[in-house]
Amino acid sequence: MDHAHRPGGWTVAAAWMVAIYLVLPISIVIPVSLTDQRFLSLPQEALSLRHYATVLGSEAWLGSIWQSFLIAVAATVIAVVAGTLCAIGCWRLSRRSTELVRAMMLLPIIIPSIVYAVGLYRYFAKIDLLDRFLGVAIAHGVTGIPYVVITVSTALAAFDPRLEQAARGMGASLSQTLRWVILPRIAPGIVSGAIFAFIHSWDELVIVLFIASRDVFTLPRRIWDGINENLDPAMAAVAVLLVVFTLGLLLLDLALRKRRDA
Amino acid sequence: MSGTGHALALRGLTKRYGSFTAVDSVSLKVERGEFLTLLGPSGSGKTTILMCIAGFVAPTEGAVLLDGADITPLPPERRDFGMVFQGYALFPHMTVAENVAFPLRVRKLGAAEREAKVKAALDLVQLGRFADRLPRQLSGGQQQRVALARALVFDPALLLLDEPLSALDKKLRAELQEELKALHRRVGRTFVNVTHDQEEALSLSDRVAILNHGKLVQEGPPAHLYEHPRTRFVADFLGKSNFLHGTVQESVPEGFVIGAGTTRIVQSVAENRRPAHGSPVLLSLRPEKIALLNEDDAADNVVTGRIAAWSYLGAGYTLVVETPDLGALRVALPTWQAPIAPGEGLPVRLGWSSTASVPVVEDVA
């Protein structure tokens, strides 16, 4: 790649503009979260950590963070188990019908989440899952499946089918082959999918607005309510914490990918 | 040590994919402890046959028999065959020792016994020192030996090899051929090998089965196939060959004489295999069986021509000699036997004995 064409000046400028456009709205919350004022604003006289102290000292905020975390963990487990099994099944059978199944698995990210949420609301009302931990976990888990199906399918596409043949040729049963050969090989894909599924649940708002009200009060929901009701800079502090946590997960994913490719 | 292996037989094995016939009614026997090679160009069906034996491909018709018992319906994991895959298919996330231990782990052997067997298998291929390495830390030849150890560690009924040496460079290939042959002698098991490399087939095997277009063309010990090819394809695929066309003109005590233009060629054959007078005949003549004659040398068959092209190969020369009646003849000549350095356009006399060539038949498509 030493002799690859170097990008021209305009291309570089355009690339930077896009990058800034993507990052700027996120970075604005950082100075706002450090404001010394009592309302949502840029710092006036000094930088202050008081709003971080408010968040970390507030039972309501901490409760929401904990609840969001638990829901995200449960949703991730659901998405990873269902998504991985689906991807492996489609890969093993590999027929025209499995292509259809794989496409259907992507529906949750294709359909507008508000449409999805309305449907869930009516459906969950009937089976008494509204405003329940289990209900939100299931909803987030199911909508997280596409991420796992995509990453695991990608990992399987790179999996050498002769390894499976080799395992079976040496007498391994399907479950032994799965446990000892296939799963270890596609583990990085599963972890990637899990991270995305986790992030998906962690910052999901639309569905929560519909199917949860009082008992289940996730972090994005509390930020949403906070913005609607008062302009407390604590929200900016939470937003920064949220971004940092998500960024951490993405970096973890990047590191894992790098290790796999090495 | 032969006799500890198992005998394999294919009976009318056929595999069709839609209207395409990949394997066409192949029947074949592999004796206990024998090293059999399935040889053919790509698309000849040799790999499909191996996959049928391994159980990964279900034949459309016919049966695979192990010691006389029909194993056709058995899935691969119940056949107990060792297999070395093309590209080895070592598990990249396991160390060498873990790779070799895999078939034992599947069979739920105790840790102590497992360790002892893995050690013995790695010693067999001289890789004991590399037990804790990952496959990617090994050279191609070492990976190949790990694959062999893994395939042999559980005392399989049969060892199947799918182009085991094709990924290696030429020199290493020759080295591992020797090793593979020695290994076969040591373990005394039945080996079934697949290759498109005729040299490998000749040097390794007790018996070679030559396939083309899914059909078994000829089988036998390497030397027999080389010296007595039945068809044009076998003569051409196994080594190189010149083909002489002519019609039978007369019978002589040792065989018959064919005419091609004004040239007469004497061919010896057994009494009972003489073709009818006037019938067309095709002879296969190996390049190394043609000698360059001096003015006064005699031979059963002598033709003259001019050198059209030549190449120097170190140990020998290859000449292409243009002759008036027989077309271009390829001649392989050891360097020490070449009377002079060849040159284009040089006139030469070529000679060969009546037993040097063999009549072959054209292959039916």
pLDDT tens, residue by residue, A22-52: 888 888 888 888 888 888 788 888 888 888 8
- Check: CB of residue B14 under 8 Å from CB of residue B25: yes
Please indicate, yes or no, if residue A72 is contained in any of the structural domains. Answer: yes
CATH of the domain at B145: 3.40.50.300
Identify whether residues B217 and B263 lie together within a single domain.
no
Identify whether residues B207 and B285 lie together within a single domain: no
What is the structure's pLDDT at B336?
A: 82
Q: Dump the DSSP string for B3-15.
A: TSS--EEEEEEEE
Percent of chain A at pLDDT > 70 equals 97
Mean pLDDT score of chain A: 88
Residues in chain A: 262
**Model confidence pLDDT, tens digit, residues A205-238:** 999 999 888 888 888 888 888 888 777 788 888 8
B204 falls within a domain = yes
Q: Record the tokens describing residue A49, joined without a space.
A: 């950590």
- What pLDDT does A5 receive? 73
Return the closest-CA partner of residue B302 out of B352, B228, B234. B352
Residue B293 lies in a domain: yes
B1 belongs to a structural domain: no
User: What does the longest C-alpha to C-alpha distance in chain B come to?
Assistant: 78
Q: Does residue A53 fall inside a structural domain?
A: no
Number of domains observed in the structure of chain A: 1
How close A160 gets to chain B, by Cα (Å)? 8
**Whole-complex ipTM:** 0.75
Show which of B200, B228, B256 is a domain's final residue. B228
Nearest in space to B65 (alpha carbons), one of B169, B135, B132, B158: B158
For residue A143, is it within any domain?
yes
B294 occurs within a structural domain: yes
Are A151 and A189 in contact by the 8 Å Cβ rule? The answer is yes
CATH value at residue A165: 1.10.3720.10
**Number of independent structural domains in chain B:** 2
Q: Choose among B96, B52, B92: nearest CA to B75.
A: B52
Between CA B80 and CA B62 the distance in angstroms is 21
Please report the pLDDT score of residue B2 as a whole number: 42
Task: Return the bridge partners of B248, or none.
Answer: B258
B219 lies in the same domain as B276:
no
Is residue A207, in this structure, part of any structural domain at all?
yes
Choose one of B201, B228, B255: the last residue of a domain. B228
Please state the rounded mean pLDDT for residues A147-175.
Answer: 91
Query: By the CB < 8 Å criterion, does B136 face chain A?
Result: no
Which pLDDT value is given to residue B4? 61
What proportions of chain A, in percent to the nearest 5, are helix, strand and coil?
75, 0, 25
Instruction: Please identify among residues 156-175 of chain A the ones whose CB lies closer than 8 Å to any CB of chain B.
Output: 160, 162-163, 165-173
- Which range of residues forms the domain containing residue B342? 237-360
Q: Cα(A236)–Cα(A238) distance, rounded to whole angstroms? A: 5
Residues B290 and B222 in one domain: no
User: Which residues, numbered 37 to 96 in chain B, qualify as contacts with chain A under a Cβ-Cβ cut-off of 8 Å?
Assistant: 54-56, 75-78, 80-83, 85-87, 89-93
Asked whether residue B175 falls in the same domain as residue B68, the answer is yes
Domain annotation covers residue B3: no
Give how far the C-alpha of residue A247 lies from the chain's centroid of Cα atoms, to the nearest Å: 11
Tokens of B82: 């060792």
Q: Do B202 and B210 contact (CB within 8 A), yes or no? A: no
Reduced to 3 states (helix: H, G, I; strand: E, B; else coil), residue B195 is strand
Domain CATH code at residue B353: 2.40.50.140
The confidence score (pLDDT) of residue B223 equals 94
Q: Which of B349, B317, B351 is nearest to B336 (CA)?
A: B317
Q: How many helices (H) and strands (E) are present in chain B, helices listed first?
A: 8, 20
Residue B301 and residue B340 in one domain: yes
CA dihedral B308, B311, B316, B321 (to 10 degrees): -10
For residue B105, the tally of other CB atoms under 10 A from its CB is 16
Nearest residue on chain B to A161, alpha-carbon basis: B89
Q: Report the predicted TM-score, pTM, of the whole model to 2 decimal places.
A: 0.78
Asked if B280 and B133 sit in the same domain, the reply is: no
Query: How far is it, in rounded angstroms, from Cα A25 to Cα A33?
Result: 13
Same domain, B205 and B317: no
Name the residue of chain A whose CA is nearest to B151's CA: A170
A43 near A34, Cβ under 8 Å? Answer: yes
At A102 the pLDDT is 87
Domain that holds residue A188: 59-261
CB of A222 within 8 A of CB of A213?
Answer: no
A residues 180-219 closer than 8 Å to B (CB)? 180-181, 184-185
Residue A160 lies in a domain: yes
Domain end marker among B207, B228, B249: B228
Average pLDDT over residues A116-133: 89
Verify that B244 and B220 share a domain, yes or no: no
Is residue A8 situated within a structural domain? no
Task: Indicate whether B12 and B114 sit together in one domain.
Answer: yes
Q: For chain A, first and last CA: distance in Å? A: 18
Please check whether residues B186 and B286 belong to one and the same domain.
Answer: no
Instruction: Write out chain B's pLDDT in tens, 365 residues.
Output: 344 678 999 999 999 999 999 999 999 999 999 999 999 999 899 999 999 999 999 999 999 999 989 999 999 988 989 999 988 899 999 999 999 999 999 999 899 999 999 999 998 888 889 999 999 999 988 998 999 999 989 988 899 999 988 878 888 888 888 888 888 988 888 999 999 989 889 989 999 999 999 999 999 999 999 999 999 999 999 988 999 999 999 888 888 999 888 888 999 988 777 888 888 999 999 999 999 888 888 889 999 999 999 998 888 899 999 999 899 999 998 988 777 777 888 899 999 999 999 999 988 76
